[in-house]
């Protein structure tokens, strides 16, 4: 419980700092407004993805998580990742309550609830190396806040670059690399690691990934429509 409180305080402080920065530059004057909070999303998701990129080779060097120090690092990473989704849902509800947004983005809410379910499942099976691999997916959201700022400042060229970045990340990193890699990695560790063998459930993984990929395709279609409007 103390970990959740600490993470919430840290993310809330970060949101407040972005709010003060945007208010100072007359860009946004509402606490937890869309631009400020999307900058918080950008920072958190960018940090999660950066840590994943930095340590990706380690999960292949220690597939069975026999190194306790590395395993403990991954547990902390896993909890931070999970708490981010809890905080994000809290802010989404707060924004509707305060009429910052008229309604919740249901596609994003579904994505977050699915992520919470998957991360809790990973925690049950202690497969924290899978969490690190999933962390790569958050690199797409790094541009969220910056895109809104560029739109506010009418910096069309930069905004368009960010739109292309998001779409290419979705297709090249998430769809073509990450999810196939996750299936191969899961199959590898559940076949070769004694601590993971007994909980192997490849059908469940395929079902969850099918839901995720369906959602990805919807986002890709949305991104393509956005590009057509450029």
Tell me, rounded to whole angstroms, the distance of Cα 11 from its chain centroid. 14
Q: Which helix (H) or strand (E) segment is 92 a member of?
A: helix 68-97
The backbone torsions φ and ψ at residue 185, rounded to the nearest 5 degrees and listed phi first, read -65, -45
Asked if residue 181 lies in contact with residue 133, where contact means CB atoms within 8 angstroms, the answer is yes
Is pLDDT above 80 for 17? yes
Is pLDDT above 90 for 208? yes
Query: Exposure pattern of 194-221 as b/e (b: 16+ CB <10 Å)?
Result: eebeeebeeeebeebbeebeeebeebbe
Cα–Cα distance, 159 to 162 (Å, whole number): 5
Give every CB contact of residue 106 below 8 A, 6+ residues apart in sequence: none
Asked if residue 15 lies in contact with residue 37, where contact means CB atoms within 8 angstroms, the answer is yes
What is the reported pLDDT for 36?
A: 96
Is pLDDT above 90 for 122? yes
Asked if residue 144 lies in contact with residue 159, where contact means CB atoms within 8 angstroms, the answer is no
Burial class (CB in 10 A: 0-12, 13-18, 19+), 25: exposed
Asked if residue 220 lies in contact with residue 175, where contact means CB atoms within 8 angstroms, the answer is yes
Q: Is 103 left (phi over 0), alpha (psi -120 to 50) or beta?
A: beta
- Lowest mean pLDDT, pick from 113-122, 137-146, 216-225: 216-225
What is the reported pLDDT for 230?
A: 74
Is pLDDT above 80 for 2? no
What is the reported pLDDT for 1?
A: 63
Burial class (CB in 10 A: 0-12, 13-18, 19+), 24: exposed
Cα–Cα distance, 170 to 219 (Å, whole number): 8
Which pLDDT band holds residue 4 (cuts at 50, 70, 90)?
Answer: confident
Q: Fill in the DSSP letter of residue 136.
A: G
Asked if residue 175 lies in contact with residue 212, where contact means CB atoms within 8 angstroms, the answer is no
Nearest CA-CA partner of 28 in 18, 14, 42: 18
């Amino acid at each position: 419980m103390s970990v959740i409180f600490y993470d919430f305080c840290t993310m809330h402080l970060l949101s407040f700092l972005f709010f003060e920065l945007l208010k100072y530059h007359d860009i946004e004057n509402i606490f937890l407004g869309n631009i400020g909070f999307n900058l918080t999303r950008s920072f958190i998701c960018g940090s999660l993805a950066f840590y994943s990129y930095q340590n990706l080779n380690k999960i292949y060097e220690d597939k069975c998580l026999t190194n306790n120090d590395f395993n403990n690092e991954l547990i902390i990473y896993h909890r931070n990742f999970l708490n981010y989704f809890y905080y994000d849902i809290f802010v989404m509800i707060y924004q509707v309550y305060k009429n910052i947004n008229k309604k919740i983005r249901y596609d994003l809410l579904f994505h977050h609830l699915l992520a919470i379910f998957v991360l809790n499942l990973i925690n049950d099976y202690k497969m924290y190396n899978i969490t690190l691999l999933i962390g790569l997916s958050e690199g797409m959201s790094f541009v969220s806040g910056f895109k809104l700022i560029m739109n506010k400042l009418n910096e069309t060229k930069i905004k368009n670059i960010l739109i292309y970045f998001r779409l290419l990340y979705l297709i090249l990193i998430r769809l073509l690399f990450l999810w196939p890699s996750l299936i191969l990695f899961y199959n590898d560790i559940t076949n070769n690691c004694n601590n993971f063998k007994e909980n192997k459930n490849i059908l469940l993984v395929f079902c969850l990934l099918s839901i995720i990929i369906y959602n990805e395709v919807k986002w890709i279609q949305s991104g393509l429509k956005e590009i057509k409007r450029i």
